Amino acid sequence: MKHMKKIIESWNRISLIKKIICGLTVGVILALAVPQLNVISLLGDLFVGALKAIAPLLVLFLVMSALASQREGKQSNIKRIIFLYLLGTFLAGCVAVAASFLFPVTIALTDSTSTTAPPSGIGEVVNSLLMSLVSNPVDALVNANYIGILAWAVLLGIALRKAGDSTKKAISEISDALSQIVRWVIACAPFGVMGLVFATISQQGLSSLLSYGRLILLLVGSMAFVAFVVNPIITFIGIRRNPYPLVLKCLKDSGITAFFTRSSAANIPVNMKLCEELGLDRDTYAVSIPLGSTINMGGAAVTISTLALAAVHTLGIPVDIPTAIVLCVLSAISACGASGVAGGSLLLVPLACSLFGISDDIAMQVVGVGFIVGVIQDSCETAINSSTDVLYTAVAEFSRCRKENLS
């Protein structure tokens, strides 16, 4: 019994990132050694399921509590954060377009199709987002419709500002209790990551990705450029000091978990905890992190632009500079609606393809290719999207603090 207690204490002393790396390593070894041991993948399903289950309630009560308790006249960084979200998404689209011109990639178009119909135009994406806003609140919670949850949480939070202190305290205590549950779930991340890695390697393997190596390199390379060049530049302009400690911390503590869960929504609790560690204002990040999971889609902009231009190069369609600029804008706008479309960024590729007159049949074949490389593409995309939710929130707050100190 004493030995077991010592083992648990030693395990608890190890940092979460080191434990996740251990889980990752064990998952890879087990997937290669005993790929038929499917029970291990259950750990990953349970971990992601627990995060997805607690996230909607956490967002609802955090936002309600933050707005209900907010003092009159208190400064908020939300406008600045939204601007950074949109700027980052647009610049990510520009990087993908530039990279696709510098390193053109062609793809083998097959008969791969998806059973899910893509949106017919940008109007349908906007319509989907607007309808999500007025979704039934119970339905929004059940289906994890974060746009609807945010809308109702904001309305309830504002309405509860006139409520009594006991009501506000009760909401705050429920919010704290949910945050504690999240900490318990995150403590299980090493085992969850082990299960997710095992499932990915044992089911997909590595050989199926080799034929699409150049496309994967272009996608991952563009996202890496965004993560290690574009984001640090934005961060430096905001905080006026070495941006890499903050950028790398966000990638390490948020991006790694998001890479394996492949869900911005599931990573909301992880991002909330990271914001708390960074000492950010809870009233701000309680709103900005859930909002970022729906509109901060730099990785999605990279995917949409890269796959659309891969189809263009494959078909030999000439592209001029004005059209490329329009593609950057279109991919940014479409990416902001990716969370409101079943299938996410991949099913928004036909929107970008339509800009070049590419038929739906061919566009859906491109989507099929996207699903083939999705094991890596979706993981990297989610890591970029989720880690920048925290990064831009931190940049906005640190930038405001710096300006206040100067004045």
How far is the C-alpha of 247 from the C-alpha of 228, rounded, in Å? Answer: 8
Nearest CA to 226 out of 398, 37, 45, 384 is that of 384
pLDDT tens-digit series, residues 273-301: 899 999 998 888 888 888 888 778 888 88
Residues in the chain: 407
Nearest CA to 386 out of 222, 252, 220 is that of 252
H or E stretch including 55?
Answer: helix 41-69
Q: Write out residues in the chain with pLDDT < 70, as ranges.
A: 1-3, 16-17, 70-76, 109-126, 128-129, 146-147, 204-211, 334, 336-344, 347, 360, 372, 406-407
SS3 308: helix
Within 8 A by CB and 6+ apart from 53, the residues are none
How far is the C-alpha of 274 from the C-alpha of 391, rounded, in Å? Answer: 10
End-to-end CA distance of the chain: 59
Provide φ and ψ at 32, rounded to 5°: -80, -30
pLDDT tens-digit series, residues 328-367: 887 777 676 555 444 467 767 877 887 777 876 787 778 7
H or E stretch including 1?
Answer: none
Nearest CA to 58 out of 393, 254, 285, 262 is that of 285
Q: Can you give the pLDDT at residue 112?
A: 42
Joined tokens for residue 42? 């259950």
How far is the C-alpha of 89 from the C-alpha of 299, rounded, in Å? Answer: 8
How far is the C-alpha of 374 from the C-alpha of 343, rounded, in Å? Answer: 11
How far is the C-alpha of 162 from the C-alpha of 157, rounded, in Å? Answer: 10
Q: Can you give the pLDDT at residue 164?
A: 84
Nearest CA to 265 out of 111, 147, 348 is that of 147
- Asked if 55 contacts 264 with a C-beta cutoff of 8 angstroms, the reply is no
163 DSSP 8-state letter: S
Q: Can you give the pLDDT at residue 242?
A: 94
Only one residue has tokens 């961060």, namely 235
Taking the CB of residue 166, how many other CB atoms lie within 10 A of it?
Answer: 8
- Asked if 201 contacts 24 with a C-beta cutoff of 8 angstroms, the reply is no
Q: Can you give the pLDDT at residue 6?
A: 74
Sorted by where each begins, the domain ranges of the chain are 2-406
Q: What is the dihedral of CA 372, 34, 18, 241, to 10 degrees?
A: -10
Which CATH architecture does the domain made up of 2-406 adopt?
Orthogonal Bundle (1.10)
How far is the C-alpha of 38 from the C-alpha of 40, rounded, in Å? Answer: 5
